[in-house]
Each structure stands twice: as structure tokens, then as C-alpha cells.
Amino acid sequence: MSEIAENSDRQSKGSLTVVGLGPGEAHWLTPAAQAAIEAATDLVGYDPYLARIPAREGQTRHGSDNRVEIERAGHALRLASAGRTVAVVSGGDPGVFAMAAAVFEALEAGNPAWRDIAITVEPGITAMLAAAARTGAPLGGDFCAISLSDNLKPWEVITTRLKAALAADFVICLYNPISKARPWQLGEALALAATQRSPETPVIFARAVGRPDEALRILPLTEAVEAAGTADMATLVMIGASTTRLIAREGQRPYVYTPRSVTKSPCVTSQGRT
């Protein structure tokens, strides 16, 4: 990333928009996010995400590696403080384990003059919503999202939260499930789930939803524990609740859904309300 002049914070203020690109397919990009990208003089982001945006004359790109989020956010704030119209791009939704929090973290710890910058967050479709849409309605009841990455929090914190979510019978969406540096964590998380959930509990492995290499598998929990090593960082893993159901289809992948009610039979709703 290029250096910004030291006096940039004394110049006219620009703006900064944090944009969610969605999971992959162009038609999942919101019109508001597309408008922010088109209006930007500068695009800041992880190189693979920037590569998803067509190049435009007069627009400068500032690409970086995936482990420099705070540095990337600070660079974007300096650009905006120098009067530039900046779009910081994330995959999925920028507020879900992504760049929006990094921008505000850098803002809080950085130059007080940055607080006058107009900052907007444009939402995107996050991986768990894309995966849910592909498979049916597994998030029809209460659910939660947990990142298995221990780069920013201890593994003990992750397991404490996972145990609580399992005890509360949430559908659990696992982000960042596995990497070369930590190939064991998803297996341990699923093994923990197997101590509290039925062996037939549906588990969804949704990889690269919306991209050409998309792959979806629905496995019972017992098989999912054994298949943990086949996931990667592009995989969203979703563990069903005790109420999550499968609808079998001849020769096709079943639908997965979680009923809205935990006390009534399917199709019986309170006073017909949705």
C-alpha cells in the first residue's frame, strides 16, 4: 500500500464506505454497494476481493494480504482524510467477521481528525445466508455464528461459546473452520457437537457458494466429524439444531429447514402469523 502524505489529515475530508461484495455471484451485490464501488476514487481490500471488481479508468486499487486488516483500515482512513472517496471491500457482509469492525477499530485508536470522516457501511449477503438459501431454510429458527479462527481470540473462548450455543440448541454457523495452520479445530468443534446433538443432526458443508467451484454437502453429524478435514477456509459449516429437519427428494439433495416453532408440529403456527 502506498504512503499518504503526513499532512493529509489537514486537507479536505473525503469519505469511506465499507462494502460487502456478497459471496460470489454478481447479482448478489446490492445496488447500494455497486454504487459505492463505482463512485470510489480508491478501492482498498484483500487482493482476491479486489480481483472480483472490474477495473475502471481513474480508479486506484490498494491491495494487500489477508492478515493486515488494521493496517488496511488505517490506510483507507488516511486516503479518505486526504479527500479521496474510498471503498473498502469485503467478501460477504463487511460487518460479519470482516472489514467494518477493523475500520472502526482503527478509527477509535487512530488520529482524532479521522472521526470527522463520513463513514458508511453497505451490507452484503454473508456466507451463512447464501448457504441457507441454497439448502432450504436451516436458519428458520434461532441461530448464531461463531468464527473458529483463534488468531484474535483464544481457543478456550471459542469452545466456551460453542458449548453455550450447543446447550441453547441454536443452529450454529461456523466461519473460518479450518486452515493449514490449524487443521484440527473443526474436527474438535464437531466432536464437541456430537456430545450434545443427535448423530443424525444435519450438518451442511457449503464451500464457495456462488462461485464456479461451489460445493454443497449435507451429512449426518457422525459423518461430518469424519469429514472435517475436507473443509477449508472457503467453507461455511452449519450444524443443525435438534429441531432441524430434512425433506427427502428422489435423486436430489434434500431440503434442510428448521421450523419456526419449537413447541408445535410443522405447519401449525400461532394464529397463522408468519
Query: How confident is the model over 242-263, as a mean pLDDT?
Result: 94
Min mean pLDDT across 3-7, 126-130, 196-200, 263-267 is at 3-7
pLDDT at 5: 45
pTM for this one?
Answer: 0.89
SS (H, E, C) 19-75: EECECCCHHHCCHHHHHHHHHCCEEEEEHHHHCCCCCCCCCEEEEECCCCHHHHHHH
Average pLDDT of span 21-26: 86
pLDDT band at 24 (very low <50, low <70, confident <90, very high): confident
- Report the pLDDT value the prediction gives residue 220, as an integer from 0 to 100: 98
How far apart (Å, rounded) are the C-alpha atoms in residues 269 and 261?
7
C-alpha to C-alpha distance for 196 and 218, rounded to whole angstroms: 19
CA distances from 166 to 96, 160, 191, 221, 225 (A): 21, 10, 12, 13, 15
CA distance linking residue 91 with residue 199, whole number of Å: 33
Burial letters 128-162, b for 16+ CB under 10 A, else e: bbbbbbbbbbbbbbebebbbbbeeeeeeeebbeeb
Give residue for cell 457449503: 206
Q: In what order do the strands lie in the sheet with 42-46?
A: 60-64, 42-46, 85-90, 15-20, 118-122
Look at residue 269 in the predicted model and tell me its pLDDT: 52
Do the Cβ atoms of 32 and 40 come closer than 8 Å?
no
DSSP characters over 214-239: -EEEEEEHHHHHHTGGG--TTEEEEE
CB atoms within 10 A of CB 10: 10
Indicate if the pLDDT at residue 103 is higher than 50.
yes
Residues 105-138 have pLDDT tens digits of 999 999 999 999 999 999 999 999 999 999 999 9
Compute the Cα dihedral for 60, 63, 69, 71 and give only its sign. Answer: negative
203 bridge partner residues: 219, 239
Taking the alpha carbons at both ends of the chain, their separation in whole angstroms is 49
pLDDT of residue 9: 45
For residue 180, the one-letter residue type is K
